[in-house]
Amino acid sequence: MNEQGKPTLAVVGATGAVGSVMLGILSTREDVWGRIKLVASARSAGTVLQVRGEDVTVEELTPEVFDGVDVAMFDVPDEISKEWAPVAAAHGAVVVDNSGAFRMDPEVPLVVPEVNPAQVANRPKGIISNPNCTTLTMMDALGALHAGWELTELVVSSYQAASGAGQPGVDRLRAEVSAVAGEDVGSRVGDVRRLIHDKVGDDSPFPAPLALNVVPWAGSLKDDGWSSEEIKVRDESRKILGIPDLKVSATCVRVPVVTTHSLVVHATFRKEITVDAARQALIEAPSVVVLDDPASSEWPTPADVVGLDPTFVGRMRQALDFPNTIELFVCGDNLRKGAALNTAQIAELVCAELMSKA
Amino acid sequence: MNEQGKPTLAVVGATGAVGSVMLGILSTREDVWGRIKLVASARSAGTVLQVRGEDVTVEELTPEVFDGVDVAMFDVPDEISKEWAPVAAAHGAVVVDNSGAFRMDPEVPLVVPEVNPAQVANRPKGIISNPNCTTLTMMDALGALHAGWELTELVVSSYQAASGAGQPGVDRLRAEVSAVAGEDVGSRVGDVRRLIHDKVGDDSPFPAPLALNVVPWAGSLKDDGWSSEEIKVRDESRKILGIPDLKVSATCVRVPVVTTHSLVVHATFRKEITVDAARQALIEAPSVVVLDDPASSEWPTPADVVGLDPTFVGRMRQALDFPNTIELFVCGDNLRKGAALNTAQIAELVCAELMSKA
């Protein structure tokens, strides 16, 4: 805490794709923090970044960096979080972790502030997890609908952006798009793959070409052919919404979009639901914007909502053949609500709690 | 018929995106046809195109052009088919129409040769319809599974290619990709749209930018917010598979891919189905190729299967929470099996029938 009683925040992973967005978010939201420390690997330490209009020098990730830190946000790979989040917690910081390391730990809450804010207090390990970006894309909207109609089943297909794989994902997509631009490719088998191989090589965070293509894979291989991303959508949706027996089938597909995930959602409820009532509930949800007038070509697309905070919902339809079922097309910025923004919101809940106790 | 008793074929719409693919298909499949006439609008008449290695001059679409024609394939817009298919039929040609004009007419069969070939004979109007490309992408695979397990429910999301909107769609996607190549766009709201507006203008067959974007719309607006493409998937799947009460929810989304539609399919069956048995049934289906080994990054992507005839299936998974349900990722060339190839196959069935009667 500083002299005004404002908590000290550490941003671990400040130089990554999500970290960069986080600095922008911290610079524009209500200024609840005392000191903000920026932390990264030894390689990035010494870099000077701007946050809240001030230059801040990035410090190296060490145990001592957490001395005096009240809240530590982690935007780093799973294995770094697994090692360092407990270190930060042992130094007295409340950790808000955006990795997958702790999300399904029963002693770690998984929080979406619009859905289950009270869970931040249940943190015996001093760690709170931020959900996976794909799951987060639909949680605000589904939380609002579940509150009214009791969600029972979800069938989800994703259209996931390159930045879900971090800055290397964005750089790779841009290099591939430049490689295919102006070329007569995409009509003959493998010509996109050959051109990209020849022009930019095969070193990619994606397991297949992404420019002029879609790739039905995200994450690592789990049991029975499921990808880790698909299992996360199932497990995390159940935990956040508090529906242990929620039926979920997700298929995760990467698309050549820089940032903003889109989801097609087929959602079934226990109670009778109409599309008009569901639309009204989403209009009233503070963090959801409904763009849904196809007669005027009004629906969300990733390019039109990237960089914005809300969850955008369109293409709302009453399922014609499935009772109590609504179809939705949902877009959300995977680096903002899908990562940095939700992490910042969780940290702000902790901040308010610390200040109320101080 | 020519002197060898081979029927005369007319290809109406020979200069369009599907027509061009059709000429290639007619040049490589078994040479069952006598004369092949190429027909197009007055604007394109006189153009010389190659088919079966020979130069053929495109003739203008007139009633007389169908004199002596045994089979006429139509790859033209709905309104042209609606006017001219009956004219061709009245001149004695059996029409195989790839437009949406007659597909749901109870007196017009809707045929996928691998699924319901016998239907070609039930053509009181002398017209046979070829299904919509999005529906066709999954029909061979679903037909094979329905034969074994009785399909009851389908939840489908599409990842549709630009060439579904014809050559103007391909040209527009290429122009947009060139406009965004090398530019730092896709992270700020509307920057892709502004750049494309400035560089290539707003005259597009798509209702939103497609480069670095996905667009949740294909076709025209139908009742209650559904798109015509989504309704076609429902109605045509029911008619082709002969399941009038099949439950279907489809959401159709355009993606920045030149050619080959992809579908995420959540398919539920009346009988108990295992993913291993389903995979075996698809392996045995002559027109389906299973690419399904995620441990080796093996699954179909549009760029890797475009230009090929089969339906490609991967990401086969047993639904974890839904009984008798299989998840699939299906890719098919929307200009080949999705249009020209299936039309050619139907025409060949008619050709065989005519020759057997001759």
Q: Is B99 on the interface with A (CB under 8 A)?
A: no
Choose the closest CB to A256 out of B248, B256, B297.
B256
Token pair 């719409």 is found at: B13
Distance CA A165, CA A168 (A): 7
pLDDT on residue A357: 86
Q: Is B5 on the interface with A (CB under 8 A)?
A: no
Q: For an interface test with B, give the residue of A301, A309, A326 to mutate (most B CBs within 10 A).
A: A301
Give B170→chain A minimum CA distance, Å. Answer: 9
Q: Are strands B48-51 and B54-57 parallel, antiparallel or unpaired?
A: antiparallel
pLDDT digits (tens, 9 = 90+) for B243-274: 999 999 999 999 999 999 999 999 999 999 99
List chain A residues with CB under 8 Å of B249.
Answer: 266, 319-322, 325, 327
> Any idea what DSSP says for residue B110?
B
Average pLDDT rounded to a whole number, residues A218-222: 97
Distance CA A241, CA B121 (A): 54
Give B214→chain A minimum CA distance, Å. Answer: 6
Cβ distance B181 to A177 less than 8 Å, yes or no, reads yes
Q: Which DSSP string do the residues of B252-309 spell out, in sequence order?
A: --B-S-SS-EEEEEEEEESS---HHHHHHHHHHSTTEEE--BGGGTB---HHHHTT-S
List chain B residues with CB under 8 Å of A213.
Answer: 257, 301-304
Q: Assess contact for A325 and A262: CB atoms under 8 A.
A: no
Catalogue the active-site residues of B.
133, 261
pLDDT digits (tens, 9 = 90+) for B295-334: 999 999 999 999 999 999 999 999 999 999 999 999 999 9
Chain-centroid distance, C-alpha A161: 11
Tell me the one-letter amino acid at B152.
T
Helices (H), chain B: 17-28, 78-90, 133-149, 166-180, 191-200, 228-241, 275-284, 302-305, 341-357
Q: Which residue of A has its CA nearest to B246?
A: A321
| Residues sharing a CB contact under 8 Å with residue B106, sequence separation 6 or more, in sequence order | none
pLDDT digits (tens, 9 = 90+) for B143-168: 999 999 999 999 999 999 999 999 99
Which value does ipTM take for this structure?
Answer: 0.96
Structure tokens at B188: 């700020």
The CA dihedral of B88, B90, B95, B98, to the nearest 10 degrees, is 60
pLDDT reading at B17 higher than 90 = no
Cβ distance A208 to B303 less than 8 Å, yes or no, reads yes
Distance CA B12, CA B41 (A): 9
List chain A residues with CB under 8 Å of B233.
Answer: none
Token pair 């490589």 is found at: B28
Average pLDDT rounded to a whole number, residues A185-204: 97
Cβ distance A217 to B320 less than 8 Å, yes or no, reads no
Choose the closest CB to B189 out of A208, A216, A307.
A307
Q: Assess contact for A141 and A328: CB atoms under 8 A.
A: yes
Choose the closest CB to A193 out of B180, B262, B303.
B303
SS3 B67: coil
Q: Which DSSP string do the residues of A249-275 spell out, in sequence order?
A: EEE--B-S-SS-EEEEEEEEESS---H
Structure tokens at A18: 């999500």
Q: Is B247 on the interface with A (CB under 8 A)?
A: yes
pLDDT reading at B206 higher than 90 = yes
Q: Is A118 on the interface with B (CB under 8 A)?
A: no
Backbone angles phi, psi at A60, to 5 degrees: -75, 145
| Residue B329 neighbours by CB distance under 10 Å | 26
Q: Assess contact for A37 and A9: CB atoms under 8 A.
A: yes
SS3 B120: helix
Q: Assess contact for B155 and B237: CB atoms under 8 A.
A: no
Q: Assess contact for A264 and B218: CB atoms under 8 A.
A: no
B 275-334: CB under 8 A from A? 275, 292, 294-295, 297, 299-308, 314-322, 325, 327, 329
Q: Is A338 on the interface with B (CB under 8 A)?
A: no
- Record the pTM: 0.96
Token pair 């760690």 is found at: A127
Distance CA B191, CA B198 (A): 11
